[in-house]
Copies of this chain bind each other. A is one copy, B any other.
Amino acid sequence: MGVARVAAKWVYDFAEGSKEMRELLGGKGANVAEMTRILGAGRVPAGFTITTEACVSYMENGQTTPEGMAEEVDEALARLEQTAGRTLGHPDDPLLVSVRSGARESMPGMLDTVLNLGLNDRSVRGLADKTGNERFAWDSYRRFVQMFGNVVRNIPGERFEQAIADAKKQHGVTLDTELDVDALEQLTARFREIFEHETGEQFPQEPRDQLEQAIRAVFDSWTGDRAVAYRRINRIPDDWGTAVNVQQMVFGNKGDTSGSGVAFSRDEVSGAPEPSGDFLVNAQGEDVVSGVRNTQDIADLRDVMPEAHATLMEILRALEAHYKDMQDTEFTIEEGRLYMLQTRNAKRPAQAAVRFACDVVDEGLLTKAEAIATIDCEKLDALLHPTFDPAVDYAVLAKGVAASPGAAKGEIVFSAPDAVQAAAAGRDVILVRPFTEAEDVAGFHAARGILTAEGGKASHAALVARGMGRPAVTGASALEIDLATKELRVGETLLCEGDVISIDGTTGQITIDDVPLVEPQMDEHFERVLEWSDELRSLGVRANADTPEDAIKARSFGATGIGLCRTEHMFMAADRQPKMREMILADTIDERRAALDELLPLQQQDFEDILEAMDGLPVTIRLLDPPLHEFLPPDEDDPRAHALREVNPMLGTRGCRLAILHPEIYEMQVRAIMRAQCAVSARLGHPPRLEVMVPLIDYERELEIIEALILRVAAEEGVAREHYLVGTMIELPRACFLADTIATHADFFSFGTNDLTQTALGFSRDDIEGKILSPYIENKVFDRSPFETLDAPGVGQLVRMGAWLGRKTKLELELGICGEHGGDPDSIDFFHNSGLDYVSCSPFRVPVARVAAAQAAIRAGDDGGW
C-alpha cells in the first residue's frame, strides 16, 4: 500500500492489443483489440484502452491518476482523432466517443458506460449540420447529458425519466422516438437544468474535461457498492481493477437504417446452431440491454436490413471459429453499415453449454477435451432442476420470455430485501419485479426463481438469473405490478405478497395452479458430455446415499459407487425411533442388546436393498456416527437422556468413541451388514463390493479395536475377509498426522472434509456459518464459505498430508472424500491434484462432479493419461 506502481505504459490503442492481454486491458479491451485484428479496423470503431494497472494505481494512491497517464491519454486521443479525421467535440464536425469500463472478468451491468461524449451546446449543432440529421443530434445530446449526469455525477435516473415522461405528455406522444427536434432540444435544456440543480454546477462544456470526469467515474465505479457486491458473489478479487475503453461512437439512433443489438453466435438458451439475439431499430445499445423497449428477434434483422444481417452472421461464425467458444457480441448499424462493438465468450445455461459442446465436436471445431473445457460445470445443476410435471394440466396465468431454464415455485415477494429475509426464514420465494437492477442481485440468490414484467433474454434479469442457474421468466407484459401496495394483477386475478406462484424458465409459463415439479430427464447432449467426461477423468465419482431409493438415483446419475451410506439415517425413520430410544435408554447391557436385536433385521434389510441396487459397484457403509442424544427428543427429561447431553456435541461421544464405550452397537450393525452381504451374495451369485467404514478415528488403537470387532463378527457370520474392505474416515486433524499408523489397519481412507473443516478451523458450521460468513466476506477474510469450497491452504494440506502418510504405509490404499466438497468443482480440482481415487457427493451433484473431474484432468494435462 502507498507505493506507486511503475508501469511502462498506461494506455494502449485497440490496434496494439490482443485477447491474451486480458489482465492488463480487461476483457472488453482485449476482445475489442482482438476483433480489430480479425475483422479489420473498418468493422470495429477505433479507440484505446486505459489499463487495469492505471486503475489499481488510482485506487492505491487515494484517487489520483498515475503520473504520465494524462499525457498518454492525450496522445492516444490525438491518434484517434487523426484516424477518425475529426476532433473530440469540435464545434463543426465533432468526434464523439463512448467511455466504458472493462474488467478482467465480465461484470455485466455492474460498471458504468457513458455514450456520445464530446457533445456540448456548440458541437450538437455541428453534428446536426454535418449529418444533416438535427433530430439525431439532439437525441444524442440529451442522451449524453442524461448518462453523464446519472453515471458520472450520480444524479438519480428517475429525475431524467420523469422529464421524458413530462415531455411526452406535453407533446401528446407515447414513444421517445416520436419526440421531434424542438421537443428534444427543450428536453435537453431541461436535463441541463436538472444537472445544475443536482450538482450545483453547469454541465461541462469542455470535451477534454468531460473525458477526464468520465474516466474517473469508471475508476470510481470499481469500488462502488454494486460492483463490490457483484465481486463478492462472483468471487472476483477487489484488487484486479478495471480498464477504461474510449471508443469512437457509431450511431444506431440515426433513423430507420440504423439500429443496435446483441447477438449470440448460437442460440443462447438452447445452444442450437442458429444465432440468436435482440435488436432495436433507431436505438443505441443501452436501449436494448435496459429492457425498457421490447426488442425484436435477431432473425427479423434479415427482413429489416438484409445486408447487415448477412454480414453479422458471417462475423459471428468467424468469431466463434477464432475464439473456439460461443460468442456474445454487441453491434451497431449506422446507416446500413455494421460495426462490431464487443465480443466475449457467451455465458449460457447448461443445456446450451452441453449442446454447444456436442455440436462443435461434431463440426470438428473442437476436440472433446476442448469442448468439455468450455462448459461452466457449476451451471449443469440446472439440467437437473425440476420442471412442471408434464402429466398435470394447469392453467397458464401468463407467458413471458423463457429467460433462464428450470421451474420454481414459491411465495411472491416484491423486493430483494424481502426475498433475502424470507429465504433466511426458510421460505421458498419467487422474486417478482417490473424489471431488475444491479441492487437486486442479493434477491436472486435468495429466491427460487425470478419473474419480471419487462425485458427480454438479454435483460439484466435474464443475464443474472442464467449466470446463477436460477429459473427466470422475463418480459411477461401481462403483469401489472404495484410495488407500493405489494400487489400483482394479471387480468382479473389479484395476487398479494405471500401467494404462491410457479414459473417455468424453460417455457416462459407462469401459473398459480399447484402444479407439481418433476425431476428432469437427462438430454442427449448432456449424456454425451457425461460419457466424454467419463473417458477423460481419472477421479471416480461416487454418491452419498443412505437409502435404496437414493442408491438407485445415484446409479442412474452415473455414480461409480456409494462413497458414504450413513447408517444413522436408518435409525431416524419414524418406525425405528422407539426401538432406538429403548436401546439408548437401556439400563443394562442386556436390555440394550435386546433393543439392538430388534433393530438388526431392519438395518439388514436396508443394507440388502442398497447392496443389491449397487451390484458390481462399491458401497461404503459408515458405522453409527452421531452422539446418542441426537436420537432423543430435545425435551426428553429422562435423567439418562440428560446425562447424554453434551456442551459441544460435535466434539463429543460420537463415532468410534461410542463404539469403544458400547461395542454392542457396532456389533449389531456389523452383524446386519455381514448378514446382508451373505444374503445378497447368495441372490446375485457373487459378493457385493462391500466397504465398512469407521468414523472419527484419532488413534491407531481405536481403529485396531474396531477392526478386530468387524473381523470377528464377519467371521462369525461366515463372510470371508476378501469379500469386504475395512476403512476409516479421516476427519480429524490428528488422524491426518497419524495417517501412517492408522493405515496399517485400513484398506481405505475417506476424508470427511465437513468435520475436518470444522475441527481444523475450530468453526461450528451449525453456529457460525450464518453469523460469520457475510461479515467475513465483507472483511475479505475469505471469499466464500470453507464449507462450500475446500480451504486449500489449511484443510487441503491436512488432506494431502493424510493421503501422503497413508500411502507411505500402504501404496494401494484407496483414497476418497465424502464431504460436501465432493460436489464442488474447485474442490474436485484440488482433490484430483491431490491424487485421490474418488469423490463422493449427493446424487444430484454426481453429473456435475463427473464433468468437473474431467475438467480437472484436462487442466492438469491428465486427460490423455491414466
Contacts and interface: CB of A to CB of B under 8 A. Distances in A.
Interface string A737-760: 110000000000000000100111
Contact of A763 (B651, B738, B791): B651
Contacts of A776: 660
B705 A767 contact: no
A658 to B, nearest CB: 10
Number of copies: 2
B737 A797 contact: yes
A239 interface: no
Interface in A635-659: 646-653, 657
A760 B652 CA distance: 13
Interface of A: 646-653, 657, 660-661, 696, 698-699, 701-702, 705, 731-734, 737-738, 755, 758-764, 766-768, 771-772, 775-776, 779-782, 791, 793-795, 797-798
Contacts of A731: 762
11 contacts: A648-B766, A650-B651, A650-B764, A651-B651, A651-B764, A653-B767, A653-B771, A660-B775, A705-B779, A732-B760, A734-B794
Contact of A647 (B760, B761, B766): B766
Given A698-B761, A701-B782, 18 more contacts: A648-B650, A650-B762, A651-B764, A652-B764, A660-B775, A660-B779, A660-B781, A733-B733, A733-B759, A733-B761, A733-B762, A733-B798, A734-B760, A734-B791, A737-B794, A755-B762, A759-B759, A759-B760
Given A660-B775, A737-B793, A781 B648 contact: no
A651 B798 contact: no
A780 B701 contact: yes
Nearest to A650: B648
A779 B701 CA distance: 8
A764 B647 contact: yes
Contacts of A646: 764, 766-768
B652 A782 contact: no
Nearest to A647: B766
A762 B732 contact: yes
Given A648-B766, A732-B762, A761-B732, A781 B653 contact: no
Nearest to A796: B737
A701 B778 CA distance: 12
B653 A650 contact: no
B698 A762 contact: yes
Contacts of A761: 698, 732-734
Sorted from nearest, which 7 A-B pairs have the closest CB atoms? A651-B764, A734-B794, A648-B764, A733-B733, A646-B767, A732-B762, A647-B766
Interface centre among A702, A734, A759 (most CB of B within 10 A): A734
Contacts of A650: 647-648, 651, 762, 764
A423 to B, nearest CB: 17
Nearest to A652: B767
A653 B775 CA distance: 12
A353 B546 CA distance: 62
A764 B647 CA distance: 8
Contacts of A696: 762
Given A772-B661, A781-B660, A794 B764 contact: no
Contact of A767 (B651, B737, B755, B795): B651
A776 B660 CA distance: 8
A761 B761 CA distance: 12
A768 B652 contact: yes
A654 to B, nearest CB: 9
A772 B791 CA distance: 31
Interface centre among A648, A698, A755, A758 (most CB of B within 10 A): A648
B733 A760 contact: yes
Contacts of A772: 653, 657, 660-661
B767 A734 contact: no
Contacts of A793: 737-738
A197 B701 CA distance: 44
Interface centre among A759, A797, A798 (most CB of B within 10 A): A759
A767 B648 contact: yes
Contacts of A758: 651
Interface centre among A651, A758, A766 (most CB of B within 10 A): A651
Interface centre among A647, A661, A775 (most CB of B within 10 A): A647
Contacts of A660: 772, 775-776, 779, 781
Given A657-B772, A701-B779, A760-B759, A647 B767 contact: yes
Contacts of A705: 779, 781
Nearest to A776: B660
A316 B339 CA distance: 110
Contacts of A701: 779-782
A699 B734 contact: no
Nearest to A731: B762
A698 to B, nearest CB: 5
Interface centre among A649, A763, A772, A795 (most CB of B within 10 A): A763
A797 B780 CA distance: 30
Nearest to A766: B647
A795 B737 CA distance: 9
A702 B651 contact: no
A88 B781 CA distance: 82
A455 to B, nearest CB: 38
Contacts of A794: 698, 733-734, 737-738
Nearest to A757: B734
A760 B793 CA distance: 16
A768 B732 contact: no
Contacts of A764: 646-648, 650-652
Nearest to A700: B781
A699 B791 CA distance: 11
B734 A771 contact: no
A800 to B, nearest CB: 11
B649 A782 contact: no
Contacts of A779: 660, 701, 705
Nearest to A696: B762
